[in-house]
Structure formats: structure tokens, C-alpha cells
Amino acid sequence: MIYFTSDLHLGHHAIIHMCNRPFHNVDEMNKTIISNWNRLVHKNDIIYILGDIAHRIPITKLNELIKKLNGRKILIRGNHDKRYDESLFEEVCDFKVIKHEGLKISLMHYPLLEWPYKYRSGIHLHGHQHNTYEYNLSMLEKGIKRYDVGVDANDFQPVSLTDIIRFFGL
């Protein structure tokens, strides 16, 4: 199975208030996000992290948390992804286009106005904005094939490729 997520902000106390996350403290947030992740993602699943896995956390603590996350992790760097053990990821890059059964999917931390294959049924997955799920519905209503995979828009859990394909009716 293939999954996507972004903007976990593990270890970031202020994000709870900045994004009105429903957690009492950072430990509760970290545990919930890790638990939700591991409930869905299994050892051999591929998961693309579209940036901002953590913020304002010591590198040793960050690496410990990353090791707790199931799956074959590919990091698309976000603006807060500065220090981590790269060996914990199968790949680290800034932008990537993946293909799945003829569907072309552009992956980047930031939302783009234009992306490869936009006019040929390509979709764009991103994070960064900390949107709610209503943003994704709004994009769909406007006919824009752009989807925020961030935890704030997806019940603090990864989104499967199957669910994204179903969402767009592809």
C-alpha cells in the first residue's frame, strides 16, 4: 500500500495552539500521530512524507520518533526539515513525480499553482498550509486536482493512495 502525509510537527509545542490541534500537550500529540500512523502503515508499505516531520526538537529525540514509524519512508523536504538521520529514509528530495497505473502524481511540500501533467489528469499532493479537510473539498468542487495530505486535514493520520484516487473519482 502507498500512503502520504505531511506536517506532523512532532515535538513542536506551539503547533497545538497555532493550528488548534485537539491535544493537551506535545506528548499526547506525538503519541496520537505515531499510533494513527502505525495503525495504518505496515512494515513494507511506502509512505511519502511531504515535509515538516518535526520542528523544535533535539535531533536525537527526532531520530527516536522517526524509528517508531512503520513503513518505507520517503521524505520530500519541507521548510522545517533541516536535521535528521538521512539513513532513516529510503530517499530524501525536494520534489518528486510518481506514476501509478498511468496516474502521474506530483509531490512537494508546498502547494503549486501549476505542476507536471496538470492538464493531462495529473494530481498534486502537498502540505505546508495546515488546512482543514474543507480545503480538499473546495479544491475538488473547483475542479482542481490538488490535495493537502497534512495531518491537520486528515484526522492526524496518513492518507492512502486508494483513498485519494477515490476522492478524485479517478
Q: Is the pTM of this model over 0.75?
A: yes
Please report the pLDDT score of residue 83 as a whole number: 87
How distant is the alpha carbon of residue 14 from its chain centre?
19
Tell me the per-residue pLDDT of 93-110, one tens digit each, with 9 for 90 and over: 999 999 999 999 999 999
Rounded CA-CA distance 165/4 in Å is 12
Q: Return per-residue pLDDT of the chain as tens, 170 residues.
A: 999 999 999 999 999 999 999 999 999 999 999 999 999 999 999 999 999 999 999 999 999 999 999 999 999 999 999 889 999 999 999 999 999 999 999 999 999 999 999 999 899 999 999 999 999 999 999 999 999 999 999 999 999 999 999 999 99
Alpha helix ranges (H) inside 22-168: 26-40, 59-67, 133-141, 161-168
